[in-house]
Amino acid sequence: MSDLFDIAGKTAVVTGGSRGIGAMIARGFVEAGARVYISSRKAEACEKAAAELSALGTCFALPADLSTEEGAKGLAADLGEREDRIHVLVNNAGAAWGAPLAEHDAASWDRVLNLNVQGVFHTTKLLLPLLQAAGTADDPARVINIGSVEGFHVPLQENYSYSASKAAVHQLTRHLAKRLGPTITVNAVAPGPFQSKMMAATLDTFGEAIAAAAPLKRIGRPDDMAGVTIFLASRAGSFVTGAVIPVDGGVATTV
C-alpha cells in the first residue's frame, strides 16, 4: 500500500499552472515528487510561479498560448526537446466570460471555446506521442481535464459560453477515454467553488451563501484539488477512465 498514491519520479505537464486551480495541482505534484512543467500564456507569470515551486521540488516553465493549434504545437515541440515521455497531462488552461444574453457576441464565444475546448483537444492530440511513450496497459499515462460543476447544471450567472465549454470538456473526456485506452486514461475533474482569480468576485459577494448551500459547508481548499489529481495520476487511479469527478463539497450532486 505504500506506493498506492505515489507519483514520485513521474513527469507531469500542467497547463494554466501559474495560478488558481492549476497552481494548486502543480504545487501538489511538485511536493509529491513529480517533475513538473507548467505552462501559461503570460511568460513572466509562468516563470515566477515555476521559480517559487522550484524551491519545493522540480518545476520548469514553458509559456504557451494554447487557444490556438499553433500554440499547442509550440508547447509539444518544446517538451519534445526536453523529455522523451510524459506520464501526466493536466489540461487546466481556461477562460471565463459572463455577460447578459444580448451582449454575448462571437468574440466572447471564440475566446472561451478556443481555449477551453479546442485547447484541450489540440494539446492532448499533439502530446500523444510523449504520453504513448510513457503509458502501458499496466500503468497507463494519464490525461486529466479540468471541467466544472457548471458543465453539469444551469448556472445562476449568464456565462453561456463558459458553461457550454465545460459541458463539452466533459463529453470530450469520455470520447478520448474510449479512443486512448488501454495505455492512456482520460478523466475530468469538475471543481466547484475554489479560491481563484476566476472565482474571486463571485466569492467576495456570495461566498458565505455558496458555502452554506453546500452539504460540506465550505469552499474548496488547495489540498482538495491536489488530492483528487494525485489520485488520478497514481496507481490508485489506474483503473479509472472516462469519469467526470465533481470536487465541490456536494454542490453539483445534491443542491
Report the catalytic residues.
162
Using CA atoms, how far apart are residues 127 and 135, in angstroms rounded to an integer? Answer: 12
Asked whether the beta carbons of 233 and 10 are under 8 A apart, the reply is yes
Nearest to 116 by CA among 154, 146, 159, 158: 146
Q: Which residue is it, cell 474571486? A: 200
160-164, long-range: CB < 8 A, 24+ apart: 160/101, 160/104, 161/97, 161/104, 161/108, 161/109, 161/111, 161/112, 161/113, 162/95, 162/96, 162/97, 162/98, 162/112, 162/116, 164/113
Give me the amino acid identity at 12: A
Using CA atoms, how far apart are residues 239 and 234, in angstroms rounded to an integer? Answer: 10
Contacts of 175 (CB under 8 A, 6+ apart): none
Using CA atoms, how far apart are residues 138 and 98, in angstroms rounded to an integer? Answer: 43
Largest CA distance in the chain: 55
Cα-only R_g, the chain:
17
Nearest to 232 by CA among 84, 31, 90, 26: 90
